[in-house]
Amino acid sequence: MKLAVFDCDGTLIDGQAAICEAMEATFAAFDLAAPARPVIRRAVGLSLPQAMRALLPESDEAQQHAMADTYKQAFRQARTEGRVSQPLFEGVREMLEDLVGAGWTLAVATGMSDRGLAHCLANNGIAELFVSLQTADRHPSKPHPAMLEQALFEAGAQASEAVMIGDTVYDMTMAKAAYVRAVGVDWGYHHPEELRAAGAEFVAETPAQLTARLLA
């Protein structure tokens, strides 16, 4: 068994514009000035209440959950109106297909919702490549290892047989907590230096480079 568990947004797909727009709409709904987009992007990967806490540290838990609900509504409305774009990063489809062809099992562990992840994977035609989909709807936020541990269980893999691949320090820290190898990608939301400091054994510059490393 060789199991590759991927983060989604920032690793497989590029959804930053839709995320920033929904977050800006959320802050506006609460008559608050939205953080700058680079700040918003740094919170991607956390579950929504935790992201709100990171973006608005002075808020209380009730406000964080209220803002998370408003964000979900803003994102759904944008999707309904056809304003959400979540394309795969260039080379990701080929990377996933090459790994499956080489006998790897694939899974996802993401701060997205079940509904959001299913929609994203289906729209990009890659849903059938994954044997396990773990989201924030059923687990604590990253970097808690619950999502990764459940992916291991559903895939029938041991921690020593798996690798967590992501673009944020939350992914790297989650991997360490689950005793799984951590590999970063530098086309997402956190800098390569941060990923290495958080435990990444390698940071790939392209999906092709990541494939070559895993298949070496």
pLDDT at residue 32 is higher than 90 = yes
CB under 8 A, 24+ apart: contacts of 29-37: 29/70, 29/74, 30/63, 30/66, 30/67, 30/70, 32/56
Active site residue 98: no
The CATH class that applies to domain 16-80 reads mainly alpha
Per-residue pLDDT of 144-176, as tens digits, reads 999 999 999 999 999 999 999 999 999 999 999
At residue 79 the predicted structure's pLDDT band, cuts being 50, 70 and 90, is confident
Percent of the chain residues past pLDDT 70, beyond the cut:
100
Is residue 62 predicted with pLDDT exceeding 90? Answer: yes
pLDDT of residue 84: 85
Q: Tell me, yes or no, if 7 is annotated catalytic.
A: yes
Q: Which of 7, 14, 98, 167 is catalytic?
A: 7
The CATH architecture of the domain made up of 3-14+86-215 is 3-Layer(aba) Sandwich (3.40)
pLDDT at 82 over 90: no
Give the pLDDT score at 1: 85
Each residue of 101-122: pLDDT tens digit? 999 999 999 999 999 999 999 9
**Per-residue pLDDT averaged across 132-148, rounded?**
96
9, 98, 167, 171: the catalytic one is 9
The domain limits of the chain are 3-14+86-215, 16-80
